[in-house]
Structure 1
């Protein structure tokens, strides 16, 4: 260092110290709030969807139980019709399906059947009337197949 040279007495350029990672810039706070809001809305939507489809899960479990105990008796068909009416009440409350019976119940099942596969009327009539007949003419396997298809196709 030369004492006569004033430039030699100057220090080199020093950059300011970095600010560190905390506290984050305002943009990061906004991003964090947006992510939190999206996550909250997603969880709420999933919980609502799960709550709305609870009846379907319960109906399918009851249908599996009925399938394991399938027998061509009026009591069994009455339980199947009750299960379908409970599911229909959840999905179509404005139609009051729990009050339907006979031909009106069969018409309702045909009208609300999933698109693409309309069930045969005589099979549904046999299933619906089997609960009141002393001898059952309906096949439990066909009734289970229809019930599974009908439950799976309900849009609620």
Structure 2
């Protein structure tokens, strides 16, 4: 303790650590959070697109049903229903729209687990669109097509 000696300084505390740049763990956490958010946004977008597609399909069926009730044109009704079924069948099998005749009706029956297309009201889809005067039970056929679409859309994750 030399009064003339060098003067001692007090203890120096280091500066607080800076918040930038973050530690590697924070970068990893940020990457994981961004990836999870991107996946959630992608899933939500896909779900919304499926829901919109389902709504368009059901709206198309409703339009066909309304047109059928306004005018008596069975070949047109059958043609429009057949086209709607073929477009929707792509959800099940990409090759399905190419099926012809009884193979097409068997494919439709397979989705419902019955024989309403090959032996019931759906049988008229086989040659009805090509006949000038086809006798059609429009209500039964529309109900059958609605059930088929509902089943296919539910099975493919687009709940009706």
Does the C-alpha gap of structure 1 residues 153 and 15 become closer, same or farther in structure 2, counting only changes over 3 Å? farther
**Which piece of structure 1 moves more, 44-53 or 59-68?**
44-53
TM-score with structure 2 length normalisation?
A: 0.67
Residue number among 58, 62, 65 corresponding to 1:64 in the alignment = 62
Aligned match of 1:21: 19
Give 1:23 shift.
2.8
Does the C-alpha gap of structure 1 residues 100 and 50 become closer, same or farther in structure 2, counting only changes over 3 Å? farther
Aligned counterpart, 1:91? 92
Q: What is the TM-score with the length of structure 1 in the denominator? A: 0.68
| Alpha-carbon distance in 2 for matches of 1:64, 1:25 | 58
2:135 aligned residue: 137
* Residue in structure 1 matched with residue 36 of structure 2 by the alignment: 38
Coordinate RMSD, CA, aligned: 3.3
The whole-number CA distance in structure 2 between the counterparts of 1:91 and 1:50 is: 20
* SS of corresponding position for 2:129: coil
1 CA distance for matches of 2:51 and 2:92?
10
The aligned residue for residue 100 of structure 2 is: 100
Aligned residues: 144
Shift of 1:76: 1.3
Q: 1:86 to 1:16 in 2, by over 3 A?
A: same
Asked if the contact 1:74–1:133 (Cα under 8 Å) also holds between the matched residues in 2, the reply is yes
Distance in 2, matches of 1:128 and 1:34, equals 54
Gaps of 5+ in 2: none
Cα distance in 2 for residues equivalent to 1:43 and 1:53 = 15
